[in-house]
Amino acid sequence: MSKSVYRRQLAARLRELREDTELTLAEVARQVEVSQGSLSRIETGDRGTTPLLVKALLDCYEVTDTTLREDLLDLVRADQAQKRPWWKKYAAVVNTTQYGGYLTLESSATSLRTYQPLLVPGLLQTEAYAREIITEMRPDLSARQVQALVDVRMRRQAMLDTENAPTLWAVIDEAAIRRRIRSTEVARQQLERLVHASEHPRITIQFLPFAAGAHAGLYGSFMLMDFPAPTPEVVWVENLTNSVCFEDPGDVDRYIEVFDHLRSRALMPSETCRRFRTIARELQHEEH
């Protein structure tokens, strides 16, 4: 299960504070009367903690700065709040799609960069488009379960209009735009949605045409996520049966390199909008 960004920040800060005092895990564990194993898992972010224990640790590390103490306690509270996030009411269907870990990370990100070769990114989908593709991709789900996933997808999009919204940069392959779905009208409305989204000050969309030829993104889709310092970037890669979160700096740097390669090959945002409008007109003619 993915750790919240708050827990990861707290873990890093507590580890730094202990190391600054040159105390071992065993020594701290004896002083605050917790097991060494529990303390170790707190420092790696594998386990959450409580304000009471963090206060005891800060006392042990002789941290008297009230601002620093309150900042660390705020991280504890924020991590605890994420234990019951809004998507918990969709737990049955979210758990079957291994979605919860991704949502935890996405909700804490400051920037999102994605490459999508086959589908419009979820954060930019219309409700009708989302319903059609989820229905086709997940024949094992009932209509009610499909609608639950659609609801989650629509709820996710609301964060793009919040005060602390992340930036979103999407490179979308032509295959995702040209792929025929059951309703031409739905496809056309989806293109109009992309044009409208391109006007958002925190959203950048680029179209990667077939003419770009073979490229570094042929391995498949991915999402790069940035977080407040000192939490490092991660890469999320989704597969049919499971999803993988890469945290190793070498892996992340490789995906950043690929994303930069893709955006350099893609059309500029202004030309992307013109291309979307052209394809939308073509679809409108097909309808008639």
Of 173, 177, 178, residue with least CA distance to 215: 173
Section 137-154 average pLDDT? 92
Section 111-121 average pLDDT? 96
Question: Cβ distance 283 to 191 under 8 Å?
Answer: yes
Gap between the Cα atoms of 14 and 263, Å rounded? 38
Instruction: Give yes or no for residue 196 having a pLDDT over 90.
Output: yes
Instruction: Give yes or no for residue 4 having a pLDDT over 80.
Output: no
Residue 103: beta bridge partners? Answer: none
Maximum mean pLDDT: which of 45-54, 118-127, 237-246, 278-287 = 118-127
Tokens 């060494």, residue? 36
The predicted structure's pLDDT at residue 20: 92
Q: Is residue 228 classed as helix, strand or coil in its secondary structure? A: coil
Section 210-214 average pLDDT? 94
Report the run of H or E that residue 43 belongs to, with start and end.
helix 36-44
Residue 288: band (very low, low, confident or very high) from pLDDT cuts 50, 70, 90: low
pTM: 0.73
Question: Cβ distance 145 to 91 under 8 Å?
Answer: no
Gap between the Cα atoms of 117 and 175, Å rounded? 6
Query: To the nearest whole percent, how much of the chain has pLDDT over 90?
Result: 59
Q: Could you read off the pLDDT of 173-192 as tens digits, one per residue?
A: 999 999 888 889 999 999 99
Which is it for the CA torsion 181, 185, 189, 195, positive or negative?
positive
Q: What are phi and psi of 148, to 5 degrees?
A: -65, -40
How many Cβ atoms sit within 10 Å of the Cβ of residue 264?
A: 11
Residue 234: beta bridge partners? Answer: 225
> 85 or 229, which is more confident?
229
Instruction: Give yes or no for residue 1 having a pLDDT over 50.
Output: no
> 1 or 51, which is more confident?
51
Residue 254: band (very low, low, confident or very high) from pLDDT cuts 50, 70, 90: very high
Instruction: Give yes or no for residue 59 having a pLDDT over 60.
Output: yes
Of 156, 170, 197, residue with least CA distance to 111: 170
The predicted structure's pLDDT at residue 74: 83
Angle at 95 between CA 219 and CA 82, to 5 degrees: 100
Section 139-143 average pLDDT? 91
In the chain, how long is the greatest CA-to-CA distance?
77
Domains of the chain: 5-81 (1.10.260.40), 89-287 (3.30.870)
Q: Could you read off the pLDDT of 31-45 as tens digits, one per residue?
A: 998 899 989 989 888
Q: Could you read off the pLDDT of 62-102 as tens digits, one per residue?
A: 999 988 898 888 888 877 766 666 656 666 666 555 566 78
